[in-house]
């Protein structure tokens, strides 16, 4: 694959888009996400591993009546052999007037430690009102798997479980 001089990589173009919307800032070559009010709340680092070719999976929270919301799409199928090869990034968008969270049992987020290493933690991310958050998802648990097993990972908003908050399912197939 050839590249023209001066052409931007997909990762650089994404960073520029986020920066132009006030959703990210660049410090020392590392892009940090901020909340929509630019209060410099560090959410995650985009430069983990090789995220330039990572698949992006978009979710948006929607209010569906009083004290009821859901993350859409509610059913997602990911192909382990194609979509998880170069990494996976969740794009979580909250256009409602209250904070929501996104959690998925069995999935892990990759975060940068104070020493510069990469750590995995259970996936649970707060998304404030009118905000978009990008989350690097760990795919190490799927690498090298050759069996035909289907993995099912329920997702939901842990902040509003008692408000009839409807969850969904992510299925990982061979």
- State the CATH number of the domain containing residue 69: 2.60.40.420
The per-residue pLDDT for 52 is 60
Distance between CA 21 and CA 93 in Å, rounded?
13
Distance between CA 109 and CA 85 in Å, rounded?
16
Do 169 and 152 form a contact (C-beta atoms < 8 A)? yes
Tokens found for residue 41 = 């709340």
| Residue at 15 is within a domain | no
Query: Which residue is listed with tokens 């929270």?
Result: 61
For the stretch 139-161, pLDDT in tens is 988 876 667 888 899 999 888 76
For the stretch 110-134, pLDDT in tens is 999 999 999 999 999 999 999 999 9
Pick the closest to residue 124 from 43, 51, 38 (CA basis).
43
| Residue at 6 is within a domain | no
The per-residue pLDDT for 171 is 94
Per-residue pLDDT band for 37 (boundaries 50, 70, 90) equals very low
Question: What range does the domain containing 58 cover?
Answer: 52-173
| Residue at 86 is within a domain | yes
| Residue at 26 is within a domain | no
Distance between CA 160 and CA 26 in Å, rounded?
33
Q: 34: how many CB neighbours lie within 10 A of its CB?
A: 19
Q: Can you tell me whether residue 130 is helix, strand or coil?
A: coil
pTM over 0.85: no
Which helix (H) or strand (E) is 18 found in, with range? helix 10-20
| Residue at 34 is within a domain | no
Per-residue pLDDT band for 164 (boundaries 50, 70, 90) equals low
Do 89 and 51 form a contact (C-beta atoms < 8 A)? yes
For the stretch 49-103, pLDDT in tens is 335 678 899 999 988 777 778 899 999 999 988 888 889 999 999 999 889 999 9
Integer distance in angstroms from the first to the last C-alpha of the chain?
27
- The structural domain count of the chain equals 1
């Amino acid at each position: 694959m050839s590249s023209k001089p001066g052409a931007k990589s997909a990762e650089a173009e994404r960073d520029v888009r986020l920066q132009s919307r006030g959703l990210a800032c660049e410090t020392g070559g590392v892009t940090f996400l901020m909340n929509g009010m630019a209060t410099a709340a560090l959410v995650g680092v985009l430069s983990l591993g090789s995220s330039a070719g990572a698949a992006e999976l978009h979710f948006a929270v929607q209010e569906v009546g009083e004290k009821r919301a859901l993350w859409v799409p509610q059913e997602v199928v990911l192909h382990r052999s194609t979509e998880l090869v170069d990494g996976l990034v969740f794009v979580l968008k909250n256009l409602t007037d209250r904070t929501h969270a996104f959690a998925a049992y069995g999935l892990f987020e990759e975060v940068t430690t104070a020493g510069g290493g990469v750590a995995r933690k259970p996936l649970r991310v707060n998304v404030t009102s009118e905000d978009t958050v990008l989350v690097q998802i760990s795919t190490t648990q799927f690498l090298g798997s050759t069996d035909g097993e289907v993995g099912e990972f329920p997702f939901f908003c842990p902040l509003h479980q008692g408000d009839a908050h409807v969850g969904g399912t992510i299925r990982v197939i061979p």
